[in-house]
Amino acid sequence: MEKRKLGSSNLEVSLVGLGTNNFGGRMDVEAARPVIHKAIDLGITHFDTADIYGNSGGSETIIGEVLGPRRKEVTLATKFGKPMAGSTEQHRGSRGYIISAVEASLKRLKTDWIDLLWMHEPDPTTPIEETMHTLDGLIKAGKVRHVGSSNYLGAQLDQAVIVAKKRGYEGFVAAQDELSLTERKIEKTLIPSLKRNGISLVPYFPLGGGALTGKYRKGQALPEGSRHASADNRFLGPNWDKIEALHDFADKRGHTLLELAMSWLACQPIVASIIAGATRVEQLDLNAKSVNWKLTDEEMAEIDKITA
């Protein structure tokens, strides 16, 4: 599995990452165990979780229990900043909250350090100076290696970068945001800031919430047991014509829609790792192989016309 450097840091991450938001919810520890070990065996070593995943803490707890001595084989990323179940805390970018959240994550993950700590969303109630100072302190203490933003606007990210540079703090090296062939808003709202500041992108929902897996076709019944209860939702509803055109594009070239969706992201120089979930080991094989299509400039231009 190809590895890429994360922004200006010396941290390398696998091009395909493992999203673990199903751990502790749809998947218990015994269901997650083979997925975790198979991912590592395939070279999918960037594991992405969050303190809120799995009914607040469940995903981190499962990862901590299963990894054991294989902890050093993975790049472990988690997030803080969205409300935990039962919490009424509003100042989730404050020093006290961040330190408490990180200590809790370290305990659940059964690790002494977090490779990549994401701030899951901005906190408008806390000065960004306090947030960046606290994150820098965690890095200096060795509890966190690097930090990233998630769901920030370009202007918010620019402000965080300015503060970090002015104060000499270790700033954000990556941003985790939604990008796919059916959702390209951040190309105008965020990616210009990433490029200006040398920050990598780690896309989530790379398959458009399942719309780009190849399972869904316009005018056909939704597959039994699929995640979408209706064909009229934000992932499928506005995108049926695009999905069908992308199906045709991939079919003509002997590839699947999934391969097109993942390889299109892999061909973006700013992308360091692509977060893809998996509930079965068979999905891991597909994900690992899905980034090998080297799209030409002409193909990328045609895709732009389809998805613009």
Positions annotated as catalytic residues are: 53
C-alpha closest to that of 119 among 170, 203, 189, 175: 175
How many Cα atoms are found within 13 Å in the side-chain-facing hemisphere of 178? 11
Residue 51 contacts residue 59 (beta carbons within 8 Å): no
Residues 144, 165: Cα–Cα separation, whole Å: 19
